[in-house]
A and B are shown apart, each in its own frame.
Chain A
Amino acid sequence: MIKLYMQMATSSIRRAKWRSLLTMLGVIIGVTSVVMIFALGEGLKKQVSGELKDLGTDSIVVRSGNIIERNKDGKVTKVNLRDVFTQSVLTDKDTEQVKAVNGVSFAAPIAFISAPVANDDGKALSSDSVIIATTPQIREALNRDVETGEFFTTPELSKNLAVLGPDVARELFGEESVVGRIIKIKNTEFVIRGVMTRAKPSPLDLVNTDYNRAIYIPLGAGKVLNGGTLAIREISVKLAETNNTDTVVKEINKVVLVSHGGIQDFSVLEAKDFIGVLDSVFGVLTTFVAAVAGISLFVGGIGIMNIMLVSVSERTREIGIRKSIGATNQQILGQFLVEAIILTLIGGIIGVLVSLTVTAGLRLYTEIHPYIEPRVVGIALGVTLVVGIVFGIIPALKAARKDPIESLR
């Protein structure tokens, strides 16, 4: 019988192509938005975790604020997003202690300074660049190197030297070979020592720092510039080996905890913790937006129901004929229910196809790389099926209950 219902449904849908398409539009939009939201979220997550992997599993970061809570095995159990934005409590002493921990090969503090920057002619730098006060080990800790010139050294930590990200050099001087020239930070002159290698663009730039637009200055010089004190945002750490990360993380935590008087007002994060943090951020976001998209799917379902109700009353005579030649109520119900389900399912499939096309387009022409999980497609089509059944049942019942004699009149 199902086969018969499907034949009837397809012929009826084919007969009213435009109306069917318009009916499906709600479902198409709903499914597309649900799938795209998940695809964008998943794509961003993949890109970010890919970059974190590039950064290496031997990278660790010590940050202010109790961002994550761990259980005994070192697994993240809770993420405190609020603590990401707390005031910095890390000190130079922490950096030195971390550096001394067994298994740590490099550790560099990172402090952000916001100050106006200009070239020697007084041409100002746009505000979306960042000044990082740090130590020479930052190169190893972040896996970055200088392209031209060289980085400042430890004895030079109080000198007014600067190493520019390539984009900063370009913006200020129109070229990247600018070693030896002068920039002004807060009207203080800094001599350019080197220019960094270009870093790959990253979606993390949105939430973090674009290192191509960074200006590195020595920590001591930064302190003077900032009026004597400087809050260390994080300590970037490079491990000697990758196979004992957890042990080193625990050790660093222990050492810093002691110097902070036993208060866990900082976090030691490894790459996989970042992924955990991102997961929880994206998770919340994705769920919220998907709920909104789900509503549009619901509205699409109402559209289907609406048109099916119209269709049932339009086809009253047909229903009467079918009953008079021996269709049972159940068979009429089946026909209209299957029609509604097929209508929504086609809408769902078109929605998935649209999502695939949009995804392909975004991947080809933009930096955004959405990723459609097969699971999401399955869920979307499953939900569509449910929508079809839920919103198809009322019109189908109405059709089935029609009195044949009345319908034929």
Chain B
Amino acid sequence: MGTVIDLQKLSKIYGFGESSVVALDAVDLIVEKGEFVAIMGPSGSGKSTLMNLIGLLDRASHGVYKLDLKDVSKLRPRRRARVRRDHVGFIFQSSNLIPGLTVLENVALPLAYKGMSQTKRLKKASETLEKVGLKNREYYFPRQLSGGQAQRTAIARALVNWPSIVLADEPTGNLDSATSLQTMELLKEIHKGGNTILMVTHNSELTRYATRVIYMRDGQIEYDEKLKGDEAIDLAEVPAAVEYEQELLGKKAPKRKKNKGKGRRK
């Protein structure tokens, strides 16, 4: 096992001067090969920013990001695109397939940008599609697929170039519970196959597939624990989550008290 992701004091600040917003606040994180990390946290906690930085869609304001032990934090856009192409696989909430291309062509696209010949890349794509159980849908267009099939196609596309990390941003967010389950089982299989996966989710149930849970708040990692077996995390055991919950309630509570007070006065 080796270190795949190594973040050192990684920060992302949007805007300038007084109007600047700290989306990621000096985050340190090490992800080993073969880990399945679930990233949780409320909206605006910096999950997406973290994913974008790890996926090299964005550049950090400060800090160091080493991917496969190589510093990629200061790369120029073209080099970043190449690292993204060769080392990162993205799975989005919606499948984000290109409508004009067939399933096979969609899956083969990352290889096309690598300059691989058409026959070679279609063959590879076909193999990957077989892995996700969509061999018989190769020549379908995305609009002809069900939600689950589309997401499996997206997973195949993320896997086709043997990435160092798979980044899944709420991969089941748009799916019903049955297809969610199928998709998660597929991710689990992929994980078992030796892939490193980072998954953002709002659903704590899904952490049962992960080996590690990270809880973020205000651009910082507040909680980071390894999980055993098939157990999901209970957010009640995460202090930051509890705190957040209480804050939410706390904001509402005075209002309720106020109302009650009014009622009493009457």
Interface positions of A (Cβ within 8 A of B): 1, 3-4, 7, 11-12, 15, 317-318, 320-331, 404-405, 408
Interface positions of B (Cβ within 8 A of A): 52, 55, 57-58, 77-78, 81-82, 84-86, 88, 90, 92, 96-101, 109-110, 112-115, 118, 157, 161
Q: Are A11 and B58 in contact, CB atoms less than 8 angstroms apart? A: no
Q: Are B77 and A329 in contact, CB atoms less than 8 angstroms apart? A: yes
Q: Are A328 and B82 in contact, CB atoms less than 8 angstroms apart? A: yes
Contacts of B109 in A (CB 8 A): 322, 325
Contacts of B113 in A (CB 8 A): 4, 322, 325-328, 331
Distance, CA A324 to CA B81, complexed state (A): 8
Q: Which of B57, B78, B85, B112 contacts A329 (CB 8 A)?
A: B78
For B86, the closest partner residue in chain A by CB is A326
With A11-B100, A322-B109, A325-B109 as known contacts, state yes or no: A405 contacts B52, CB within 8 Å: yes
In the assembled complex, the CB of B199 is this many whole angstroms from the nearest CB of chain A, namely 16
With A4-B112, A322-B98 as known contacts, state yes or no: A408 contacts B85, CB within 8 Å: no
Q: Which of A7, A328, A408 contacts B78 (CB 8 A)?
A: A328
Distance, CA A207 to CA B204, complexed state (A): 91
Q: Are A405 and B57 in contact, CB atoms less than 8 angstroms apart? A: yes
Q: Which of A1, A318, A326 contacts B85 (CB 8 A)?
A: A326
Q: Are A323 and B81 in contact, CB atoms less than 8 angstroms apart? A: yes
**What 12 new A-B contacts, CB under 8 Å, besides A326-B110, A328-B77, A405-B57?**
A1-B115, A4-B113, A12-B100, A321-B98, A322-B109, A322-B113, A323-B57, A324-B57, A324-B96, A325-B110, A326-B81, A331-B81
Q: Which of A1, A324, A327, A330 contacts B90 (CB 8 A)?
A: A324
Among B101, B109, B113, max chain A CB count under 10 A is at B113
Distance, CA A404 to CA B51, complexed state (A): 13
Contacts of A1 in B (CB 8 A): 115
For B79, the closest partner residue in chain A by CB is A328
Contacts of A323 in B (CB 8 A): 57, 81
Distance, CA A11 to CA B98, complexed state (A): 12
Contacts of A15 in B (CB 8 A): 100
Contacts of A7 in B (CB 8 A): 118
For A321, the closest partner residue in chain B by CB is B96
Distance, CA A12 to CA B85, complexed state (A): 23
Q: Are B157 and A404 in contact, CB atoms less than 8 angstroms apart? A: no
Contacts of B90 in A (CB 8 A): 324-325
Pairs across A and B, CB under 8 Å, 7 listed: A12-B100, A318-B98, A320-B96, A321-B96, A326-B81, A328-B78, A328-B113
Q: Are B157 and A325 in contact, CB atoms less than 8 angstroms apart? A: yes
In the assembled complex, the CB of B213 is this many whole angstroms from the nearest CB of chain A, namely 25
Contacts of A318 in B (CB 8 A): 98-99
Contacts of B161 in A (CB 8 A): 326
Distance, CA A94 to CA B25, complexed state (A): 105
In the assembled complex, the CB of A292 is this many whole angstroms from the nearest CB of chain B, namely 38
In the assembled complex, the CB of A331 is this many whole angstroms from the nearest CB of chain B, namely 6
Q: Are A328 and B81 in contact, CB atoms less than 8 angstroms apart? A: yes
Contacts of A331 in B (CB 8 A): 81, 113
Distance, CA A322 to CA B99, complexed state (A): 12
Q: Are B82 and A324 in contact, CB atoms less than 8 angstroms apart? A: no
Contacts of B114 in A (CB 8 A): 326
Distance, CA A325 to CA B159, complexed state (A): 11
Q: Are A326 and B82 in contact, CB atoms less than 8 angstroms apart? A: yes
Distance, CA A323 to CA B110, complexed state (A): 10
Contacts of B96 in A (CB 8 A): 317, 320-321, 324, 408
For A330, the closest partner residue in chain B by CB is B78
Among A318, A329, A330, max chain B CB count under 10 A is at A318
Distance, CA A11 to CA B99, complexed state (A): 11
For A14, the closest partner residue in chain B by CB is B100
For B49, the closest partner residue in chain A by CB is A405
